[in-house]
Amino acid sequence: MSSIKTAKRLNLFGEYVFSKLGKAVKEVEAKSKRKVLNFGPGNPDVAPNPLYIDKLSEFLRDKDAHLYPGYGANDEFAQGVVYWYKKRFNVNLEKTEVLPLLGAKDSISHLPLALLDEGDEVLIPDPGYPAFSEPALMVGSKPVYYDLKEGFNFKISLEQLEEKISNKTKFIWINFPSNPTGQVATLKELEKIVIFAKKHNILIVYDNAYSEITFDGYAAPSILQIDEAKDISVELGSFSKTFSFAGFRMGWIVGNSKVIQALAKVKSQMDSGMSTPLQKLASFALTNTDEKWQQDMIASYKERRDIIAHYLKKLGLNFTIPKGSLYIWAKIPETAKSCEEFCLKLLWEKQILFTPGTAFGKNGERFVRVSICINIDEIESYFV
Ligand SMILES: Cc1ncc(COP(=O)(O)O)c(C=O)c1O
């Protein structure tokens, strides 16, 4: 037995849900001698554009590629993001309003250090991306959950937000296209939220990680399209989903320069920046987007979304086909006791893994999240 004592704050939260589910999958595979069809993580599995991979290997061979990259965005990275925001959203950004991230999750875990003092409150969607909560707890602040309910179409109720807000509220996490519900937002809806945030003088952190993963003619807006939104908002973007670079750990945060500088200060103590080859790759990809590759990626997800939807119905699940994100948020049959029980039963009996809705908050009690990032070649044999 080791006498080493770890920090008390580790008791504030459990193991990350996908780490826990990964262990369950291994156990079931060992006992059943069958590979689990894992609808758990949203791991963007479309192969990245070979042009970008060729460029990356070229950038890795550049003379100073191996050196520390320095802090913040280099000129190329900043120009790439500025160019893309103008082209994609008609939003103007300055270099001081752009920061590279080691994946969007980098800012999700570090923003609480930059924004929250002990006792402060942060508004978090329920259900929502699990990583929104624990970093807030780690700095001694309080997550206050707002509901995204079926009866309200998984949209934000401003009336409810009025009830949840207090003089301790510092910022609100908003995420559309939503993980896990797949619900999307219109610019009009975002406008109302910006007005609300301005009235209460709170910051909006808009997680737009799935902005480019949308279907059926829907295009996701940026919150920065709204007049003066920059006064009170920052927005996250992810190369993981947009370019299938998940393993490279690349993202960005843009918007309010005071928040960007605060996060940069925290990050300067935590990491030593995004490597120069990756900043060059980011800039190259953003300024040389390939519509054909993008359309093929969406077509691949859409095809799988529709095939998976067909099989989910066979299990008696109820859902709306999502217009965005990589997930179907499905209601379990009334006969099921709980989402956990429903998922465990499927895992052991059919070697199918869905994520129990409660992994995303208490409003997920009667739901499961089904990732569409799976190989569907053998799907038929699992749903017999
Ligand atoms: C809502 C949301 N934000 C951020 C992330 C993390 O993205 P990244 O891979 O860029 O860290 C995810 C990943 O699943 C997500 O679902």
pLDDT value for 17? 73
Question: Does any domain span residue 243?
Answer: yes
Nearest CA to ligand 1 atom 3: 209
Question: C-alpha distances in angstroms, 175 versus 48, 89, 115, 275?
Answer: 24, 17, 18, 27
Whether residues 213 and 119 share a domain: the answer is yes
Question: pLDDT for 274-315, tens place per residue?
Answer: 999 999 999 999 999 999 999 999 999 999 999 999 999 999
Top mutation candidate among 21, 205, 241 for ligand 1, by most atoms within 8 Å of CB: 241
The answer to whether the beta carbons of residues 193 and 204 sit under 8 Å apart is yes
Question: How many residues in total does the chain contain?
Answer: 384
Q: Are residues 210 and 307 in the same domain?
A: no
199 with 143, same domain: the answer is: yes
Which CATH number goes with the domain that contains 66? 3.40.640.10
Domain count, the chain: 2
In the prediction, which pLDDT does 14 show? 79
Pairing of strands 233-238, 251-255: antiparallel
Q: Is the CB of 105 under 6 A from ligand 1?
A: yes
Chosen domain end from 270, 287, 304: 287
Q: Looking at the structure, do residues 98 and 213 belong to the same domain, yes or no?
A: yes
Residue 103 reports pLDDT greater than 80: yes
Q: Is the CB of 107 under 6 A from ligand 1?
A: no
- Whether the CB-CB separation of 116 and 139 falls below 8 Å is answered with yes
Confirm or reject: Cβ of 42 under 6 Å from ligand 1: yes
Candidate from 234, 240, 278 with most ligand 1 atoms within 8 A of CB, to mutate: 240
pLDDT at 286: 98
Residue 1 lies in a domain: no
Q: What value does the mean pLDDT take over residues 166-181?
A: 98
Residues 248 and 323 in one domain: no
Run of H or E including 313: helix 291-314
**Would you say residue 334 has pLDDT above 90?**
yes
341 and 209 share a domain? no
Q: pLDDT class for 13, splitting at 50, 70, 90?
A: confident
For residue 207 and ligand 1, the question of a CB distance below 6 A is answered with: yes
Same domain, 140 and 191: yes
Averaged over 246-265, what is the pLDDT? Answer: 98
87 CA from centroid of ligand 1 (Å): 23
Residue 64 belongs to a domain: yes
The amino acid at residue 221 is P
Q: Is the pLDDT of residue 12 over 90?
A: no
pLDDT of residue 259: 98
Residue 266 within a domain? yes
Examine residue 3 and state whether it is found in any structural domain, yes or no: no
Q: Looking at residues 242-247, what average pLDDT do you find? A: 98
Residue 267, domain member (yes or no): yes
CATH code of the domain containing 15: 3.90.1150.10
pLDDT score recorded for residue 343: 93
**How much is the mean pLDDT over the chain?**
96
Q: Do 188 and 115 share a structural domain?
A: yes
Q: What is the distance in A from the centroid of ligand 1 to the CA of 181? A: 14
Indicate which atom in ligand 1 lies nearest the CA of residue 246.
9
Do 230 and 252 sit in the same domain of this protein? yes
Which of 253, 287, 321 is the last residue in one of the domains?
287
Which residues have a Cβ under 8 Å from the Cβ of 161 and sit 6 or more positions away?
Answer: 123, 146, 172, 196
**How many C-beta neighbours within 10 Å does residue 139 have?**
17
CA of 101 to the centre of ligand 1 (A): 11
Q: Higher model confidence: residue 24 or residue 65?
A: 65
Q: Are residues 249 and 323 in the same domain?
A: no
Please report the pLDDT score of residue 20 as a whole number.
76
Query: Residue 19 — pLDDT band, cuts 50, 70, 90?
Result: confident
**Which of the pair, 19 or 154, is modelled with greater confidence?**
154
174, 175, 211, 238, best to mutate for ligand 1 pocket (most atoms within 8 Å of CB): 238
User: How many angstroms does the Cα of residue 84 sit away from the middle of ligand 1?
Assistant: 19
Domain boundary residue, one of 262, 287, 312 = 287
- With a pLDDT cut of 70, the percent of the chain lying above it is 100
Residue 175 forms part of a structural domain: yes
Residues 14 and 29 in one domain: yes
Give the amino acid at 141: S
What is the whole-number distance in angstroms between the Cα of residue 219 and the centre of ligand 1?
A: 19
Average pLDDT over residues 320-336: 97
Residue 205 lies in a domain: yes
Q: Residue 239 C-alpha to ligand 1 middle, in angstroms?
A: 10
Decide if pLDDT at 24 tops 90.
Answer: no
Provide the b/e sequence for 191-205 (b: ≥16 CB within 10 Å).
bebbebbeeeebbbb
Select from 316, 317, 291, 299 the least CA-distant residue to 372: 299
Tokens 């997550």, residue? Answer: 143
Mean predicted confidence (pLDDT) in 175-204: 98
Residue percentage of the chain with pLDDT more than 90: 93
Residue 21 has pLDDT above 90, yes or no: no
Q: How many CA atoms lie within 13 A of 250 on its CB side?
A: 25
pLDDT at position 347: 93
Report the pLDDT averaged over residues 81-107: 97
User: Which residue among 16, 109, 129, 134 is best mutated to probe the pocket of ligand 1, counting the most ligand atoms within 8 A of its Cβ?
Assistant: 129
What pLDDT does 225 receive? 98
**Statement to judge: residues 209 and 348 lie in one domain:** no
The residue segments making up the domain with residue 209 are: 52-287
**What 3-state DSSP class applies to 238?**
strand
DSSP labels for 136-196?
Answer: HHHTT-EEEEEE--GGGTT---HHHHHHH--TTEEEEEEESS-TTT-----HHHHHHHHHH
